[in-house]
Amino acid sequence: MATVALDHEFRRMNLADVEQVLVNERRGYTHPWTAGIFRDCIKSGYECWLLHYAGHLVGHGILSMAAGESHLLNVCVHPDYQGNGLGRRLVEHMVDLARAGHARSIFLEVRSSNGVAYGLYESMGFNEIGIRPNYYPSYLGREDARVLAMELIQPGRL
Ligand SMILES: CC(C)(COP(=O)(O)OP(=O)(O)OC[C@H]1O[C@@H](n2cnc3c(N)ncnc32)[C@H](O)[C@@H]1OP(=O)(O)O)[C@@H](O)C(=O)NCCC(=O)NCCS
């Protein structure tokens, strides 16, 4: 289990945050999202959140919700801050938001080569439900996505 980093907080992402978010996004991903994608997510009313640690913006998470389903679209922690439990806290926060929004399930895609993220999701109760062949661009051409899902039990709901 990673060391638990306690000095962290979550804040909603605004349009003014996007440039700073891109710094972490470009460090975290080989094929990062553009500013336009983040702006569209905010304007669409998606759950767009910032993770601050010790006063620094170190990560972000994006979740969409519709018709009782939710989709975790982006989870990123700056490489300098990874391995301290922050990624787990961030995913937990996004799952809590999905529950609060009365989603019955949460879905996500993860690169086949991304063992760290896959292991994190699996340890949190996500199950692999399929593969999307050639879903992601990669340096070698295209790469498959593994599709993961978790049922969210809603207290008092059957
Ligand atoms: C996936 C990601 C968010 C995890 O963030 P993190 O802050 O490192 O996560 P945590 O510290 O909470 O660690 C989560 C688990 O991954 C493991 N882990 C973290 N870094 C690791 C590494 N470099 N090597 C092996 N395992 C690692 C930890 O052991 C931990 O498991 P544990 O709690 O059982 O010990 C982060 O790696 C990241 O932002 N990656 C780039 C963007 C990305 O791939 N996002 C996911 C897209 S689907």
Domain, as residue range, for 19: 8-151
Q: Which ligand 1 atom is at minimum distance from the Cα of 90? A: 3
Look at residue 74 and tell me if it is in a domain: yes
Q: In this structure, is residue 158 part of a structural domain? A: no
Per-residue pLDDT at 158: 54
- Does 68 reside within a domain? yes
* Phi and psi angles of residue 2, each rounded to the nearest 5 degrees, phi first: -70, 155
The model's pLDDT over 74-104, given as tens digits with 9 standing for 90+, comes to 999 999 999 999 999 999 999 999 999 999 9
The number of distinct structural domains making up the chain is 1
Q: What span, in angstroms and rounded, lies between the C-alpha atoms of 92 and 38?
A: 21
In a domain, 71, yes or no: yes
Band (140; pLDDT cuts 50, 70, 90): confident
- CATH number of domain containing 90: 3.40.630.30
The answer to whether residue 34 sits within a structural domain is: yes
- Best probe residue, ligand 1, of 30, 56, 77, 94 (max atoms within 8 Å of C-beta): 77
Residue found under tokens 């059957």: 158
pLDDT (0 to 100) of residue 153 = 78
